[in-house]
Every structure is written in structure tokens, then in C-alpha cells.
Amino acid sequence: MNPRLIQEFHEGRCLDAWRVFGAHTVCEEGRHGVRFTVYAPAAAEISVIGSFNDWRPDEYRMQRTEAAGIWSLFIPDIPEGASYKYCIRTGDGSLRWKADPYAFFSEVRPESASRVWDPGHLTWSDEEWMKTRTRNFDRPMSIYEVFAGGWKSCPEQYRTYRMLEEELIPYVLEHGYTHIELMPLNEYPFDGSWGYQPSGYYAMTSRYGSPEEAASFFNACHRAGIGIIMDFVPVHFVKDDFGLRLFDGSPLYEYPNEMDAGTEWGTLYFDLWREEVRSFLMSAASFWLEVYHIDGIRVDAVSNMIYWGGNSNRGANEGALNFMKRMNWMLHERYPQIMMIAEDSSAYAKVTHGSVYGGLEFDYKWDLGWMNDTLKYYELDPVYRKWHHNKITFSMAYYWSERFMLTLSHDENVHGKKTMVDRMWGSYEDKFAQVKNLYMYMFAHPGKKLNFMGNELASFREFDEIKELDWFLLQYPRHDSFLRFFTDLNHVYRDHPCMWKYDFREDFGFRWVDPDDAEHSVYSFYREDENEYVLCVLNMTPVMREGFPVSVPQGGWWKELLNSEQDIYNGCGRVNERTLRTYREEYRGFAHRIRVDLAPFAGIWLYHRKGRKQHV
């Protein structure tokens, strides 16, 4: 047992607790077997029980080690895949059968025992990807958020991880995404929690196949040039008897105070003031990065860590804040290229700033304010939009305060909120026109992008974890053309560096052209880099605007790059086919203007390459 790791574990600064605790296949005294180690300081007695001894609690009793609170036992001749638990006798004499908190694999629910598995068995061929990956601040990021069990139906005998490798990767490549974000793949008992109520923080969920199959999928993603982000839930855990609750008879992982421990989801908050809990969670994050080569971790429900119970009126939870700062700093120190992403609905400042500046050390924060304001605007009758014009412009008033990620995630497609297309105002045809307009705006706006699976199909059915996406929709021209639009949008976004290179540079890369035209409900702004401009113009009304004047940053010729109303996207076909020539007219600090045709609810992108001969 490594004394340095044990010391770091108790000090709350360990990223390798999984190398000490859990079930490890080893050879001791010339015999092959498994070394079981568990942290349970309040236990009176612990036995290892499992499929190898008919679950008898009186055969394999663990020894309390010299290290505080740690029990360990070597058992020879236990095969990989064997199921096991810990039988813990508490101080009051009661027995608790507990899954291993550090188990690397588990039985398929509803069974709950841990299984012996050696993470050293995994093989990789993604060396080039691992050497060149970055945190993507100056690279394109269009993330496809996926619930592994609900993208496509998969017969049990085929195994979902294998299906994702064979079918999801080609789909993501074809449609232009750069990353896949997977809703939690840690072990969890209740399908309806989608993985956000975990029971096994180191165990790849067995419901979709083996750890080897999952790793093969990740490896294939990297070889295809696709990054992998995984959701991680260091906030709370399930109350199920086999799990962490009162693990050794004491509140070892949860807060001892019931008011602090209980959550709105019927789960228990981790006691993030406790050093051993911090090491447990930080090591879990490190485990996924180290063992499975994950490129980014999206941390769920950060606001519930920032504030006690997620309630700002109760004040900041300083212990949890310190935990997040420490976790992010230490993970970045060990894995400089990985991304730490905060799903944070609070207004807490400096989430993506360094801890030396009072920040939490995350790389990105989900811009849930942008999401809420934007969707509320698109739900409005266009007659009233001019009185809510600031809902679109407001995001840029605070955007530079953090490194934001624009998200239209699974949370916006459930619980009666309706899907993206169904949220739009108006008739069936109007909804499609406006959701295309929405995506033209989203992809031109600074910040990395994330969309939930099904958004690209313009699905009208909310997310249901027991059903696959409505692939049959692609039989209908309007949905099929929408997928073509979404695909072209992704590719055009990726092909033009000005759309992503300076997402986080305040003095260059983005500028409003006219943010104040509330009377017409038209917005215009541009993105730029050293070589090009892309001008975005959005018509938020069902009114055709012919020859509409728009200022531009440079004289010359401007070419329409993308128009949401092109006929190939099932639009009305009123586009700007000819290259547009500027004319001189001073307006809002710009010396040149062009006249564009704006179809009802059209979003257009216009392109100009810098350095071309100017017209005066």
C-alpha cells in the first residue's frame, strides 16, 4: 500500500485513490488473486462476500490496516468478472451489504454487486490524437450531446457501445460535429435518472456492454478526429441501500446534518468539506481521463455546489467552492489539454477564471442565460418582439465575463418544455423557418456550441429515455431538408476560422453592426479574423424586406454564404444569388453599406475576404 497516496487521500489532494482502493488483480506470495481495499473508519468488522463463496459473510474477513480507517484483504484464485460486495458490521451490530465505492465494473441493473475487472487490460491506438488535442479555445467546437441508450434502439445481444462505434461515429462525421458529449456513463440503478443519480463513480455502466467495448468506441472516436466529453456528477448520489449512504454505519460520504444532506432529487449531497470525499471524487474524474482517455468533463449542477442546496439565499458553500478549485487545478496540472466544463445556472462570478483571481478554474461555462433569453424571444409573437429586442442583444453585454458555451441541451427537450422546433411561434411552416433562423444566430454568436441529439432532425417529440430518436421523420421532405441545413451549417461554421478562432477575444473577432433596429426586428453583426469577415443578418418577422440596407465593415463585394430560406432547405427560395456590391454611406460608424433581400424569418451569412481590391 502506497504511503504517499494514503497521505494524499486523507489530505484531500489525491488523484489516484483508485490505485489503492477497490479490487485489484495482483500476484502475492506466488499466487494470483485479488487485493480488496476499502475505506470504512466506523466499521466494526468487514467481510468480502461474492459469487466465489456463495455470499457467506464469515469466510473472508478483512484486516484493519495501520492506515487510519482502511481495511484490506488478499484472496487468491478469484477470476476476473466475479461479483462481490462488502459485508460491513457497524458499531451498533447491524450488517450492511455494500457495493464497492471504487468498483471498476458492476452487475447489470437491477442487480447491484460490484465485479472484478482490471482497467490495465485496455488497449489504445489514439496516440496522435492524445498528443495534439487541446482545450479548443481557438478551435471549432460543435458538440453532439447523446444519451447512449436512446440514440438508436439496440438489441441486448448487440450491445450499445459497439453500435455507437459502428454507427454514431460515421453519423457525427457526416453531419459536421467536432465532439460527442455523453450523458453520464457511470453506473446508476434507475434508468429514468439518465445517469445523473450515480451509484458507481468508477464503474462504466454495464447496461450498454463491457468496459472494453466502451474504450473501443472512445478509441475509434479519436482515430476519426472526434473528441469525447463525458458528464460527471460530483454533487449527489443515490440513497439505495447498496450504495454510499451510511456506508460504514456513519455519514461517511454525505453531510451529517440531514438538512444539508437531502437534495431536491431524492438523493444525498456529498460532504465536500471532507478531505476523503474530495479525494474520492477528484480521483474518479482523473480515472475517466486516465483510463478511458476522455477529453473533457462536464460537471453537472455546479450551482448546487456553489450555494448550499443550490439556494443563493443560504450563502456560498465554501467547502464545495474550495473542492472545485482544487479539482480543476489539479486535473489541469496533470492533464493540461483536457476541458473542464461547468453546467452552472447561477450568476456566480469568475467560474472560468483562475483561482488566484477568485475563480473556480473551469475552462467553459454553459450560457444558460443566453439559452433562456433566446428561447423566450423566439416563442414570442413577432408583433411583440420589438418590445423585447434586448433579449437577443443582452448576451453580448456580459459575454466577455466568462468563456461561454452556447447550449440547447437535453434539459431543454423534456418535462413539457417542448423541443426546439416546437417552441417557435406560429404555424408549422413558421416554426421551421424560425428554428433555422435560431441556428443561424446560434452558430454565428461567439462561443462554442452544443446541441442535443434530435435537434438536427427538428423533432417534435420530447426526449424519452426508453425510445430512440424519431428517425422516421427523415421520410418527410421538411425534416430531411432541415437535417441537410444543419449539416451545411456545421460544415460552413468549421470551414471559416473567423467563426471560432477569436471566440474569447473581446477586442477583435465580433462586432455589432446594428443591434438597435427594434422597429424592423432585424439584427446584424459580423465575425472576423485576419483573413475574412462573415456578416450575419437576421430577420425576426414574417415580413419580406427587399433591398434592406445593411452596413458592412469593408467596401467591395460581398457574397452570400448561407441562407436559411434556400429552397434546398425547404425555404421560400428568396435569396441573394448575385454578389452584392457596396456603396458609400456613413451609418453608425461604418462607411459602406449593401442592400440585401431578407425573406420572412430569414437568417443569412455574407462573406468577404480581407485584402481584396476596395471599391470607393
Three cell numbers at 607?
Answer: 462573406
Contact call for residues 464 and 150 (beta carbons, < 8 A): yes
Give the active site residues.
300, 343
C-alpha distance from residue 441 to each of 53, 80, 392, 538 (Å): 62, 52, 9, 7
What is the widest separation between alpha-carbon atoms in the chain? 92
Round to whole Å and give the CA distance between 310 and 108: 32
Q: Exposed/middle/buried for 182, CB within 10 Å: 0-12, 13-18, 19+? A: buried
Round to whole Å and give the CA distance between 250 and 357: 37
Nearest by Cα to 23 from 97, 101, 116, 119: 116
Three cell numbers at 259?
Answer: 438538512
Round to whole Å and give the CA distance between 104 and 114: 8
Find cell 446508476 and name the residue.
188
Round to whole Å and give the CA distance between 141 and 493: 9
Instruction: Write down the number of H helices and E strands in the chain.
Output: 16, 30
Q: Exposed/middle/buried for 508, CB within 10 Å: 0-12, 13-18, 19+? A: exposed
Nearest by Cα to 465 from 412, 410, 417: 410
Cβ neighbours around 336 below 10 Å, total: 9
Contact call for residues 224 and 177 (beta carbons, < 8 A): no
Round to whole Å and give the CA distance between 60 and 57: 7
C-alpha distance from residue 256 to each of 269, 271, 277, 407 (Å): 10, 8, 13, 36
Provide the 3-class DSSP secondary structure of residue 550. Answer: strand
